[in-house]
Homo-oligomer: A and B are copies of this chain.
């Protein structure tokens, strides 16, 4: 009998493995994700996964890049600040929706989607006319902000597990009163109160973009508020 052509015996495909792994990571976090649990969820032997994935590292690299694909790359429009701002906001949203991604982002080599994202940020800054060293440093400032800020934010959100954040903070406040940390107590109360002074993420990004624009702008004023310690190569 001649071998039958490839009719769907393959119930598994890499993309399906990755998609299911993303869902599982969203539920449990990457640390709790295991090859065994993933296989069980897919109704398949553990070792079957290894036909589609080199090892767990490869799997995680794959799902990180899969999520990064969801991020809107900066548009190629005139207004570079808006292009960067919109893309950063998109990245912020995506990283909050998949809270395990930001931590992995910093630990791993970039996959194809992240490389495209990096390229687009650099292209935008270059097109804005910033000089070589400002592109270099601005790029670092912006990407640092996107993932660094989000990691910090997620830390606040999850540090205490899933205990209601308010309960946590009020319990926390008592211990702060006991120790001698008045400013910190005020700060935590601010977190509990109005909760929000608005778009924190955008505010800090604004600080950075303002700084870049000022360091670059043709209409520099003579005050000494320009970033210091900046040497041209």
Contact = CB atoms under 8 A, between A and B. Distances in A.
A186 B71 CA distance: 23
A123 B149 CA distance: 22
Interface in A118-148: 118-119, 122-123, 126, 132-133, 135-137, 139-141, 143-145, 147-148
Contacts of A1: none
A233 B203 CA distance: 14
Interface residues of A, number: 71
A45 interface: no
B208 A207 contact: yes
A27 interface: no
Contacts of A223: 221
Interface in A201-233: 202-204, 206-208, 210-214, 217, 221, 223, 225-231, 233
B137 A148 contact: no
Interface string A100-131: 00010111110010011011001100100000
Question: What DSSP secondary structure best describes chain A's contact surface?
Answer: helix
Nearest to A81: B228
Nearest to A105: B155
Interface stretch (A8-16, A62-70, A190-198): A190-198
Given A204-B208, A229-B199, A144 B137 contact: no
28 contacts: A103-B103, A106-B154, A107-B155, A108-B155, A109-B160, A115-B181, A122-B183, A123-B183, A132-B190, A136-B187, A136-B190, A136-B197, A143-B152, A147-B151, A147-B152, A148-B149, A194-B233, A197-B233, A199-B229, A203-B227, A206-B211, A206-B228, A208-B211, A210-B211, A210-B214, A210-B225, A213-B225, A221-B221
